[in-house]
Amino acid sequence: MSPDGHRLQIGSLLNARYAVLGYLGGGGFGQVYRGQDVIIGREVAIKVLTLPAAGLDAEAREGLLARFRREAQVSAQLHHPNVITIHDIGITEDDQGDPFLVMQLLQGHDLYTELTQRGPMTPARAQRLFLGCLDALGAAHAQGIVHKDLKPENLFIHQPGTPREALIIFDFGISHILQDARLTVTGQMIGTPGYMAPEYILRQEVRPALDVYQMGLIFAEAITGRAMVYDEDPLVCFTAHQRGDLWLPQRLADSPLGAALARALAPSPAHRFADASAFHDALLALPLEGVRADGPLVPLRSVVAQHALPFLSDFPDAPTQPPADARATVQATPQALGISPAGGAATAPAPAHYRPAGDGSLIVPGPDPEPAQTRPHDVAPVDLAPLVSLPPGGLTIPPSQPPATSHVAFRAQVDAEQATTRRWGFLLITGILGLLGLILCPLASVTYMGLSWLQGDGSEAATSAQENTEKQAPPPSQAAPGAPQENEPEPVRTRARRARRADR
């Protein structure tokens, strides 16, 4: 670590290939640098991930590094214009040995910076950007990959304000490895409370519908300029997600887009779009020109009832309370209406109720805004013990809640089941062979005894016949001189004949 707090020293050469040219930004999970591949001359972004400095033994650390390689290799297989390209992965060749990613260098800023510096988007612009992003997520879901940590800081607007602007997804499979590492060390949940799906809070259940829920939150945030769920107390955020205590502006709620967002934000994953492709198709079919996202806030439960969606039972009967900041109306800004402010400036102050900045900003120096400050509770440990006993109507988790079902635990469960199957198969085959032995051994013994008896009886009969023949044969003295004996073996008679021929 350099004196200025940077993990890599500016001007150094990383692993004899990547020149470190400058610092771009960072947060709780790592730091990002602008670099150059000295072999092929390509400019790249280098992201060095930060593993916990203490609490991980050598075996656990090696396991995390092996998992990092697997997840990065899987992420590198996602070839889509809206997923950042990973060129290389590696481990720093120093005493710390931290993992790093070499990625495509983008020009622009993350979605959080866009919303805080320029204000909310028009629904039509958000539709154009999010369709590409949902298409990329749909491709990942088709391969069994779930992002799990989507938030505005992990979505990057490349070349903003140009015809080629696109929303790019960061950190497929990488961020939750570091979260799991801190979970292993501290025994606490880590993440962004404002974007945690209800099933992940309760059971840490991961499926494509989790990404759908997070994208629904982000889309609504992008067009209203306000975070759907935000509070300094993470427990308040958890309760809001579990109860479906989300609010949409009246004009947005009345539109078909409101119905689509209500389905994407359903508290039960079974009632959401099955995956990002289904959300993409629903959003593509909506004409959003002229749709506005302002007016008094109404609860999501009312939106579901208004559009007669079949999951009103997901919401509690008791009425929810409006946001604690008492701002019950979303005001339409010029940017939200597609109108440039006076003087042509494309910036607007962030709404007073907007959340502070989060972790993960990757901003290329230049005319774009500078990175905002890190939001501490996005990456700080959240102790789940108080969730066991919340006030009436709040979120309640039984103390005996089963452990998280990550893909590592699932793999271990599958291995255990396969080992049990093999063990029972071995016992079954051994039993069958033993049973066959019990049947065949006596049968073989009886067969052997029978053959032995038959062989013994035949030998006695042959001996008796030979004795009778010898008794009936004349004595050798009665035979003519020189004549072969009748009982003389054939070879002897043959030799006698040869001897007589020789005498002649």
> Are 122 and 165 found together in one domain?
yes
Q: Do 121 and 89 sit in the same domain of this protein?
A: no
Is residue 445 situated within a structural domain? Answer: no
Domain boundary among 105, 131, 164: 105
Are 32 and 130 contained in the same domain? Answer: no
The burial of 134, by beta-carbon neighbours within 10 Å (0-12 exposed, 13-18 middle, 19 or more buried), is given as: buried
* Lookup: tokens for 455: 């062989």
Catalytic residue, from 149, 245, 275, 378: name it: 149
Nearest to 47 by CA among 192, 180, 147, 170: 170
The per-residue pLDDT for range 42-63, each reduced to its tens digit, is 999 999 887 765 556 777 777 7
Strands 99-104 and 42-49 come out as antiparallel
Would 422 be classed as within a structural domain?
no
Residue 149 lies in a domain: yes
Residue in 77, 122, 48, 39 with CA at minimum distance from that of residue 362: 48
Query: Each residue's pLDDT tens digit in the chain (504 positions)?
Result: 565 678 899 999 999 999 999 999 876 567 899 999 999 999 999 998 877 655 567 777 777 777 778 777 777 778 899 999 999 988 888 877 888 989 999 999 999 999 999 999 999 999 999 999 999 999 999 988 888 889 999 899 999 989 999 999 987 766 455 445 444 444 445 568 999 999 999 988 889 999 999 999 999 999 999 999 988 889 999 999 999 999 999 999 999 999 999 999 999 999 999 999 999 999 999 998 888 888 899 999 999 999 999 988 888 766 566 665 534 555 555 555 554 444 443 444 444 344 554 433 222 333 333 333 333 334 334 444 444 334 444 444 333 333 333 334 444 555 666 677 777 878 888 888 888 888 888 888 888 887 877 776 555 555 665 666 655 555 555 545 555 555 555 566 667 677 777 766
Residue 391 within a domain: no
Predicted confidence at residue 40, as pLDDT, reads 95
9 within some domain:
yes
- Tell me, what's the pLDDT at 499? 74
Amino acid found at 77: Q
Which DSSP helix (H) or strand (E) runs through 27? strand 18-27
Question: Which pLDDT value is given to residue 215?
Answer: 97
Phi, psi of 491 (to 5 degrees): -60, -35
Is the same domain home to 352 and 262?
yes
Shared-domain flag, residues 287 and 264: yes
**Six-digit token string for 325:** 């900041």
**Residue 291 β-bridge partners:** none
Q: Which residue has the tokens 């350099």?
A: 2
Cα within 13 Å of Cα(388), Cβ side: 8
Place of tokens 């501490």: 376
146 is in which domain, residue-wise? 109-339+346-363
Q: Are residues 195 and 329 in the same domain?
A: yes
Strand order in the sheet with 108-110: 108-110, 155-158, 166-169
Helices and strands (H, E) in the chain, number of each type? 14, 12
Point out the domain boundary residue: 105, 134, 167.
Answer: 105
CATH code for the domain of 51: 3.30.200.20
45/107 Cα distance (integer angstroms): 11
Same domain, yes or no, for 47 and 134?
A: no
- Whether 16 is in a domain gets the answer yes
Residue 58 DSSP SS3: helix
Among candidates 238, 201, 216, which has minimal Cα distance to 300? 216
Q: Is residue 413 part of a domain?
A: no
Same domain, residue pair 75 and 179: no
pTM above 0.85, yes or no: no
Please give the DSSP secondary-structure letter assigned to residue 382: B
Do 287 and 320 share a domain, yes or no? yes
Pair 31, 101 in one domain? yes
Q: Residue 156: beta bridge partners?
A: 110, 168
- Is 460 a domain residue? no
Both 265 and 330 in a single domain? yes
Q: What are 40's two structure tokens?
A: 């092929």
Q: Whole-angstrom Cα distance, residue 251 to residue 492?
A: 128
Q: Which CATH number belongs to the domain containing residue 261 in this structure?
A: 1.10.510.10
Asked if residue 113 and residue 91 are part of one domain, the reply reads no
Here the tokens at position 45 are: 């972004």
The pLDDT value recorded for residue 475 is 58
Partnered with residue 329 across adjacent β-strands are 296
Number of domains in the chain: 2
- Distance of alpha carbon 150 from alpha carbon 195, whole angstroms: 7
State pLDDT tens for residues 257-304.
999 999 999 999 999 999 999 999 999 999 988 888 888 999 999 999
- Nearest by Cα to 41 from 12, 16, 24, 18: 18
Is residue 149 annotated as part of the catalytic site, yes or no?
Answer: yes
* Residue finishing a domain among 81, 105, 129: 105
